[in-house]
Amino acid sequence: MTTTRHGTTTAPVVEVVPLTPTTWRVCDSRNDGGKDPRIVGYITTAPDGFEMLWMRPRPGVTYRYDTFDDAVHATETRLRMLRR
């Protein structure tokens, strides 16, 4: 997986698109427009790292991570588990 703080990140499961210098939209790259939305949440900078705000399956759940890469990797892992 290749990630950058300021660019688009594409992984087998996670697509991260920058919205602002501090916010990224996180999509499930495996969803091609079916009944479930592609957007799964948002990563934002936090005072001590990064937060992932989930929009599905349970809106409002937030996880904190030390680095942007940690947030992307953990999100990819969770999405893989949700699809089993």
Least confident interval from 6-10, 37-41, 63-67: 6-10
CA quadruple 39, 41, 45, 47: dihedral, nearest 10: 170
Average of pLDDT values for 45-74? 91
Distance separating alpha carbons of residues 17 and 72, to the nearest angstrom: 11
Average of pLDDT values for 25-33? 79
pTM of the predicted structure, to 2 decimals: 0.76
pLDDT tens readout for residues 35-55? 555 888 999 999 999 999 998
| Residue ranges per structural domain of the chain | 9-82
φ and ψ of 25, to 5 deg? -85, 135
pLDDT recorded at residue 39? 87
**How many Cβ atoms from other residues are within 10 Å of residue 59's Cβ?**
9
